[in-house]
Amino acid sequence: MVSALRIRATLFRTPILILAFAALLAVFAGALHSPAMAQEPQYRSWSLRDLFRPRKSERIAPPEAIPMQPPKARTQTRKSIQRSAPAEPPPKPVVEKLPDARAILVVGDFMAGSLANDLEAVFAENAAVRVVDRSKGSSGFVRDDFYNWPAEIGALLEAEKPAAVVVMLGSNDRQQLQIGDVREPPLSEAWTKEYEKRTVAFGKQISSTKVPFLWVGMPAFRSAKMTSDMLAFNEIYRASAEQIGGEFVDIWDGFVDENGAFITRGPDINGQPVTLRADDGINLTRAGKRKVAFYTEKPLLKILGLTSPTATISSLTPMGLSAGTPADTIAPINIDRTPPMLLNDPALDGGIDLLGTGAALTKPISVGTTAGADHQQTASPGRADDFSWPQKKLPDAAQGVSDKTTAIIR
């Protein structure tokens, strides 16, 4: 009997416990998913801790409390927060060269190749002038077995028909020269004689076509031996250019200091100090290449008869000449440009002269005499510049004394 009652009580109690447990689960689940109720802010007095810990009302809300935005709206918000990048300057328009544009032929070694690139930038906006680069990076006058410039320049002139030729050679020529069966060391007597012969033969090939040309000299290098050799090379190039009617462009002063020593940094074409040479002490930086082109630009404009790299012959036609007058009959315009210099050069304000080195006065300066005057001027008695002693007396008329007076004498 008792066991039956216990079984009935257990059967009756089990559904109640299940229902109670289910109700508790529903309440707990609702608490998890129900939105947080807003609470009234509790105001309190300000304290020093507020500097380091914000108040509850100022704390950042959890991510669940932030309303979600559509993807498009979030993208627009992110774009509005990002700072706008600075607008890049528009690229310069490419100027198409005219079919009959005059050609500037650049020949030489790797130095000539960099010079050609910068000359192209100089004349980029001139449709009537184009630059033709025919340089060979490892070439020179010594290794004619690699590239024979005196034999090859004639074909280049015939193919390009340039209005001017720019030559820059010599960086690769510090090596032995094969003369017959003997290999002569650099700058020996036999080496120098044969080297001069090859440079003159090369220049005559250009001058025979009646084309004006410029021979750009070599700059200094970091190695002292290379620098001394480049000085000797430049003298050979200068003599060869003058012998065959060319013009030598000396760029040496642009890459050395006031003592003639090699420099890595120096003034650019605007006078600002920049790095001119690469770390190897041989190659040029972007500013150094532009400086070589600056030295070449002045005589080149003179040959072409231009006042600026963007000018054309038609705009420079003198009065009295028709627009169809050949360019060869127009006299070149003399252009004078100041070479680059440092803005803090002491020579600009006369700081290179010591005090007292000026022209001395040949005559002593005396009272009443102005420095530099050719005649002596006597000061009037009683004047501020009258320093004579004893002092001269003023005339009676100057003192206001007269024989006749109306003053009452007592």
CA-wise closest residue to 233 among 352, 127, 140: 140
Report CA Rg, the chain.
46
Domain range annotation of the chain: 102-318+327-345
CATH of domain 102-318+327-345: 3.40.50.1110
AA identity, residue 344? N
Residues 12-27 pLDDT 10s: 566 666 777 776 776 5
Q: How confident is the model at residue 139 (pLDDT cuts 50, 70, 90)?
A: very high
The gap between the terminal CA atoms of the chain, to the nearest Å, is: 172
pLDDT confidence of residue 196:
95
Residues sharing a CB contact under 8 Å with residue 154, sequence separation 6 or more, in sequence order: 205
What's the predicted TM-score (pTM) here? 0.58
Assess contact for 313 and 327: CB atoms under 8 A: yes
Judged against a pLDDT cut of 50, whether residue 179 lies above it is answered with yes
AA identity, residue 410? R
pLDDT confidence of residue 329:
43
pLDDT confidence of residue 41:
52
Is beta strand 213-216 parallel, antiparallel or unpaired with respect to 164-168? Answer: parallel
Q: Given its phi and psi angles, is residue 398 left (phi above 0), alpha (psi -120 to 50 degrees) or beta?
A: alpha
